[in-house]
Structure 1
Amino acid sequence: MSRATWRTRVGFVLAAVGSAVGLGNIWRFPWLTAQNGGAAFLLLYVLVIVLVGVPGLLGEMVIGRRSRRNPVGAFGELGGRRWRVLGGVALLASVVVLSFYSVVGGWILRYTLASATGAYFGDPQGYFAAIDYGVGAAGFHALFLLATVGVVYAGVDRGIEAATKVMVPGIVLLFGGLAAWAATLPGSAGGYEFFLSLDVGYLRANFFDVLVAAAGQALFTLSVGAGAMLTYASYVGEDRSLAADGTLIAGLNTGIGVLAGLVIFPLLFSLGVSPGEGGPGALFVSLAGAFADLPYSRVVGIVFFGVVLLAALSSAISIFEVLVAYLVDEHGLDRSSATVGVGGLFLLTGSAAALSPSLFALLADTLANLVLTAGLLGFLLFDGWVLGKAALDEYERGAGRLARLAGRPWYYAVAVVLPLFLAFTLVSGLGGLLGVAVTATQAAAVALVGVAAFVAAVRFRGRPAS
């Protein structure tokens, strides 16, 4: 069976940007920014994107293109059967993320439709409380999932590539127009100050907590750790520069996230709404409620939630494709059967999250960050200590002169620096999940010991041929 490929470089880049530009940028980014000091969070978020996200994204892409397989098959192909467990972590991360992600996608679909009638304008808090969980939420989750299934069913080039070529430019254009409009609103200057003016005192007092939140958000929004970028890169030709494409993908993703902030915060401040209100429901309570006081409120609501819906769908497609690729590559299923089977799985898991607020909170607030961090940690340790020079060779394949100069620094960062940082954030997150107070020093010590133990085990067993 011949393996699918992207028709064009633009198609791959836009599909990957679509994977990254989703609810992480628009739903999750604003409320995490609001809860973590505004510009203080933005600064650390951008730094983590540049210093951790881009190298980590390239590390995941290297494994995908070198193996030309799904996550499980990639690690088995390059490292031997015992390494397939890392691919299993990626599959688990995909299930965790899309199981709650499709529920939020259903919320957005419902709000897009409700904007036409203004159903949520009168009592935004009550409206959200009435539709967030339950049978209705499960039904709209199923509709959102059906749209995802339809795109993936059509294939890599005719489905995913064709859809994201329309969706991603549409997201940028519509958000750009909304940002320009938000700048004209009275009182919007307060939103820009909150979002862009750094409070150094706040950052010093809360550096550790803000850093952990920024790291989790960076991995979530770049769609790394769940195997989506690995899978997408497995369809990339050998003549492409992964360094150039990965940097472009991260840059576009971050730019759209900042653009979302330039829409949301000026809008909230112009209407006297606190950006910290509502937590994960802020988009649907504080912001949606604010639309009622705007001219052409129904049109604004349809456009805004329509953009968010496009972004959510583009990300859901990439996560869904991870499991489809696994069934096609490893079990020989045809794409149509694999797509229907994966759709059935997410219909069950998403419905469970839609019916259970506690399960949804566990998946969205805790497990997502942990499994994504663990997944990327495993990917980078594999690059640095199992693939070794082969990872650097793959990075340099098709790369230009400037990218080649950055090759060795990238390799050493992937092998040592980034795993230590990711292990540190993973230990900190696990401490929070278990209710154990973990200091920065303790987390760093555990991270150092854990990474050293992994390296020693690989050295003892010997590196496989790759």
Structure 2
Amino acid sequence: MAQRETWTSRAGFIFAAVGSAVGLGNIWSFPFQTASNGGAAFLVVYLLAVFLIGFPTMLIEFTIGRRSKQNAVSAFAELGYGDWTFAGAIGVFASFITLAFYSVVGGWVISYIVGSVTGAYLGDAGAYFGSVSSGLVAVGAHAVFIAVTIGIVAFGVADGIERATKFMIPAILVLLVGLAAWASTLPGAGAGYSYYLSPDFSVIASNFADIVPAAMGQAFFTLSLGFGVMIAYASYLGRDDSLPGDSAIIVVLNTIVALLAGFAVFPILAATSGVGDASGGAGTAFIALAGAFGQLPAGQIIGLVFFVVLLFAALSSSISLLEAPTSYVVDSQGMERRTVAIGIGAVAFVLGIAPAYGYVGLFNDLVFNVLLPVAVLFIALFVGWVANREAVDELGRGSSIGEGATTIWLWWVRIVVPIAVIVTLYLGVTSFYTGLTTGAYF
């Protein structure tokens, strides 16, 4: 069997993990989740979810991955707990389902890059979205996006994923900073900042059942938790890397990108259609922003820059979503990586035809509200109550973290994380069931 691949450097791992976390969830979903759920009130709950639940959960996945040196499914058997393999399988399944609909949204981004060059969406943003978001055009763009994703993963960990993310992540940061700086000069930008940064806590109390699962799901999605991705990525790490240090860098960078997206989007909306128009379904981001670009000086150029950022973000995450199932098949079956990536990507393309014909919302809510909380719950219970000695030992390798800190982390993972996830799961399943029974997804 060929020697298992590794990252060429610590920076390579961090860029790849940040790339997985920094995706459409930050730039497409986050600003519009914020707008749909009370603005700054949602932002507060989201930040709490990221640092109090997301950060400890990332350490869970990193300890499993590096300790086992295996993919998210095989890791549990490698650690001697084969009965828990299902926990990793749920994550890999979530990753595959997400890739199918995520690629469709990535295809929308490609269509909007073309529309930025031609100016096609500037006259009627809603009509343009309707023409590219469903049907054969959406399927074709979906095919292009997933083909690029397959190509990057097929080249391997170092030559494909690491090399691509080392280029894309700095590009995303530079372009987003530029967009945010430009947006700050727009008339009316202050109203956007006020909506984004001045929380009304009564909104949380009155909309608790909507805001909490949305914020938790957004935190898991944007940090790539519950997909098995971070287990797979950590499995390529060396023993001398500091897991707490790397996790902190990844979480902070990911949060910075999400916040920057808000600083770019809300002033633009406030200067044109108003922040209230940002709420709505999966396509609202494209309609609201594309319409805003059509009303601004140099809007066509700004639109092109924004959608290029969105494309880099989408690709940096989609390659991790494909890597999770690919690493499982390569590790367990000893098959050639390129063949596996093409095969899994092709099946994801076929599954993605359904969201390409209008079912993005169904797939999105299934992942956000059900699959990710279930996967996170099981891996938290596994590390907290079953493999806790191995996890604590692995957490201390390569770092200066003391016994007191590891003990606090372990009990936090045992008690706080499961309780928070169970509440989120209950609210999320209730919401998803309501959507199914009322026909909201069909």
> Which TM-score tier does this pair reach, normalised by the shorter chain?
over 0.9
The 10-residue stretch of structure 1 (239-248 or 404-413) with the greater mean CA deviation from structure 2: 404-413
Letter of the 1:147 counterpart: V
Quote the offset at 1:290 in angstroms: 0.9
Q: Deviations over 1:333-368 (max 9, x none)?
A: 01111111112111111123212x1x3221112333
Match of 1:430 in 2: 429
1:275 Cα shift? 3.9
Letter in 2 for 1:83: W
Residue 349 (str. 1) matches residue 351 (str. 2): yes
Q: Name the SS of the counterpart of 2:139 in structure 1.
A: helix
For 2:371 and 2:117, locate their aligned partners in 1 and report how far apart those are by CA, in whole Å. 38
Q: State the SS of the aligned residue for 1:71.
A: coil
Percent identical across equivalent pairs? Answer: 46
Q: What SS is found at the alignment partner of 2:187?
A: coil
Provide Cα deviations, 1:421-443, integer angstroms capped at 9, x if missing partner: 1112112212222339xxxxxxx
- Alignment partner, residue 233 of structure 2: 232
Alignment of 1:375-394 (within 5 A): 375-394=375-394
Cα distance in 2, alignment partners of residues 363 and 180 from structure 1 = 35
Name 1:441's counterpart in structure 2. Answer: none
Matched to 2:330, the amino acid is V
- Give the CA deviation at 1:198: 1.1
- Equivalent residue, structure 2, for 1:333: 335
Alignment correspondent of 2:12: 11
Aligned residue number for residue 131 of structure 1: 132
Question: Gaps spanning 5+ residues in structure 1: where?
Answer: 437-466
Distance (whole Å) between structure 1 residues aligned to residue 211 and residue 117 of structure 2: 38
The match for 2:84 is 83
**C-alpha contact (below 8 Å) 1:395/1:407 kept by paired residues:** yes
- Per-residue CA deviation, residues 295-347 of structure 1 (Å, 9 max, x unaligned), is 22221111110000000000000110001101100111011111111121111
SS in structure 2 opposite 1:351? Answer: coil
**Is the contact between residue 369 and residue 429 of structure 2 (CA under 8 Å) also seen in structure 1?**
no
Cα distance in structure 1, aligned partners of 2:134 and 2:273: 28
* Residue 277 of structure 1: how far off its partner (Å): 4.1
Structure 1 counterpart of 2:363, one-letter code: L
Residue by residue over 1:268-294, the C-alpha shift from the partner in whole angstroms, topping out at 9 and shown as x without a partner, is 001133343443212210111111122
Among 307, 311, 325, the alignment partner of 1:309 is: 311
Which structure 2 residues correspond to residues 52-451 of structure 1 after superposition, within 5 A? 52-273=53-274, 274-355=276-357, 357=358, 359-401=359-401, 405-435=404-434
TM-score calculated relative to the size of structure 1:
0.91
Contact preservation (8 Å) 1:79, 1:387: no
Q: Secondary structure at the match of 1:85?
A: helix
Distance 1:183 1:360 in 2: 32
- The C-alpha deviation readout for 1:214-262, integer Å capped at 9, x for no partner, is 1111111100001011110000100001010011101110111000000
> Does the CA-based 8 Å contact 1:384-1:412 persist in structure 2?
yes
| Whole-angstrom distance in 2 between the partners of 1:147 and 1:52 | 33
Q: Which amino acid aligns with 1:328?
A: V
| Cα shift at 1:90 | 1.1
Q: Distance in 1 between matches of 2:251 and 2:279?
A: 29
**Following the alignment from structure 2 to structure 1, what is the Cα–Cα distance between the partners of residues 288 and 129?**
10
Contact 2:282–2:361 (8 Å) recurs in 1: no
**One-letter amino acid of the counterpart of residue 279, structure 1:** G
Tell me how far apart the structure 1 counterparts of residues 109 and 90 of structure 2 sit (CA, whole Å).
28
Tell me the secondary structure at the aligned position of residue 224 of structure 1. Answer: coil
What letter corresponds to residue 332 of structure 1 in structure 2?
G
User: Following the alignment from structure 2 to structure 1, what is the Cα–Cα distance between the partners of residues 21 and 367?
Assistant: 19
**Given that residues 60 and 376 in structure 1 are in contact (C-alpha distance below 8 angstroms), is that contact kept between their aligned partners in structure 2?**
no
- Counterpart-to-counterpart distance in 2, 1:370 and 1:203: 22
Give the conservation status (yes or no) of the 8 Å contact 2:278–2:288. no
Task: Give the letter aligned to residue 291 of structure 1.
Answer: F
Q: Secondary structure at the match of 1:70?
A: coil
Whether the aligned pair in 2 keeps the contact of 1:86 and 1:379 (CA below 8 Å) is: yes
TM-score, normalization by structure 2: 0.95
What SS is found at the alignment partner of 2:398? Answer: coil
Q: Aligned-pair distance for 1:404?
A: 5.2
**Cα distance in 2 for residues equivalent to 1:394 and 1:314:** 27
> Alpha-carbon deviation of 1:66?
0.6
Q: Mean alpha-carbon deviation: is it higher for 128-137 or for 52-61? A: 128-137
AA of the residue aligned to 1:418: V
**Which residue does 2:24 correspond to in 1?**
23
Task: Tell whether the 8 Å contact from 1:188 to 1:266 is kept in structure 2 after alignment.
Answer: yes
Query: What residue identity is the alignment partner of 1:398?
Result: G
Q: Does the Cα contact within 8 Å between 2:281 and 2:361 map onto a contact in 1?
A: no
SS, match of residue 225 in structure 2:
coil
Letter of the 1:427 counterpart: Y
Corresponding residue for residue 439 of structure 2: none
- Whichever residue aligns with residue 17 of structure 1, its letter is V
For 1:296, the aligned partner's letter is A
Give 1:405 shift: 4.2
Structure 2 residue runs without a partner (length 5+): 436-442
Deviation at 1:207, TM superposition (A): 3.1
Q: Distance in 1 between matches of 2:404 and 2:290?
A: 48
Deviations 1:375-396 (A, max 9, x none): 1111111111121211100111
Cα distance in 2 for residues equivalent to 1:157 and 1:103 = 26
Partners of 2:369 and 2:167 in 1: CA distance? 30
Residue in 1 that maps onto 2:46: 45
Name the counterpart of 1:452. Answer: none
2:438 aligns to what? none
